[in-house]
């Protein structure tokens, strides 16, 4: 039997802790720049999305991994509603 997949929020929080990412910088409004402007119409980015983008900006994850994590996170958020 397969173990259930951990949530994206848990994965991102753990990875940010392991890489000692500055969470204040990651969650700040100016940290995500263009993405905030693109997503303004729908809603603000949550903490997990900000950290994922900051991990990409620091070069700690690839663009492909960032897209995969954001996709999975959105899917989890929609399932919770």
Q: What is the pLDDT of residues 36-55, one digit of tens each?
A: 555 554 466 788 888 888 88
Which pLDDT band holds residue 63 (cuts at 50, 70, 90)?
A: very high
Asked whether residue 16 is domain-assigned, the answer is yes
So what's the pLDDT on residue 21?
A: 75
Asked whether residue 70 is domain-assigned, the answer is yes
Burial class (CB in 10 A: 0-12, 13-18, 19+), 19: exposed
Can you give the pTM of this predicted structure?
Answer: 0.69
So what's the pLDDT on residue 17?
A: 84
Asked whether residue 71 is domain-assigned, the answer is yes
Helix (H) or strand (E) holding 48: helix 47-57
Q: How many domains does the chain have?
A: 1
Residues 6+ apart with CB under 8 A from 62: 56
Domain enclosing residue 12, as ranges: 8-80
Asked whether residue 3 is domain-assigned, the answer is no
Asked whether residue 45 is domain-assigned, the answer is yes
So what's the pLDDT on residue 13?
A: 85
């Amino acid at each position: 039997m397969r173990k259930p997949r951990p949530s994206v929020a848990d994965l991102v929080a753990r990875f940010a802790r392991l890489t000692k990412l500055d969470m204040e910088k990651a969650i700040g409004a100016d940290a995500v720049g263009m993405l905030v402007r693109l997503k303004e119409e729908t809603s603000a980015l949550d903490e997990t999305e900000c950290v994922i983008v900051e991990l990409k900006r620091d070069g700690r994850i690839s663009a492909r991994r960032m897209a995969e994590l954001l996709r999975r996170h959105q899917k989890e958020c929609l399932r919770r509603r």
